[in-house]
């Protein structure tokens, strides 16, 4: 599905704002694009502000996408802050994604607000 990425360099991290339709393929594609940009430009930390429309992806899809993306983060991405701006999305699916990524060795945190994510990225 189609999506839009807006990228901005912010003191010490790359801010990514993504919008479009929520499905596993969209998430898979935009995560790959974020990784490629960070690898090319040397950004070790990223803030992803996701605002995808539609229902949450199914848990099994979330697991697959996050497991695939997690295998490709190190050593490029050292810190990932993630905020899902769609209040309709399931908190349990987000927690599953965070747990899967962390289990794969990814330093990721899910935040409810952009301000909390920015504060976490500012430490260190």
Residue 124 has pLDDT above 80, yes or no: no
pLDDT tens for 67-110 read 999 988 888 999 999 999 999 999 999 999 999 999 999 999 99
Cα dihedral 42, 49, 24, 100, rounded to 10, equals: 70
| Domain ranges within the chain, ordered by starting residue | 3-122
> Among the CATH numbers 3.30.470.160, 1.20.1090.10, 2.40.340.10, 3.30.750.24, which is that of 3-122?
3.30.750.24
| E strands present in 11-101 | 13-21, 45-53, 79-84
Cis peptide before 78 (omega within 30 of 0): no
Angle at CA of residue 69, ends 63 and 72, nearest 5°:
140
């Amino acid at each position: 599905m189609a999506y839009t990425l807006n990228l901005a360099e912010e003191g010490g991290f790359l801010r990514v704002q993504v919008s479009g339709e929520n499905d596993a393929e969209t998430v898979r594609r935009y995560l790959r694009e974020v990784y490629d940009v960070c690898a090319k430009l040397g950004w070790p930390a990223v803030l992803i502000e996701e605002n995808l429309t539609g229902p949450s992806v199914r848990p099994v899809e979330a697991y697959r996408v996050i497991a695939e993306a997690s295998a490709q983060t190190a050593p490029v991405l050292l810190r990932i802050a993630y905020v899902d701006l769609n209040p309709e999305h399931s908190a349990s699916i987000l927690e599953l994604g965070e747990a899967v990524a962390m289990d794969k060795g990814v330093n990721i945190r899910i935040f409810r607000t952009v301000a909390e994510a920015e504060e976490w990225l500012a430490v260190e």
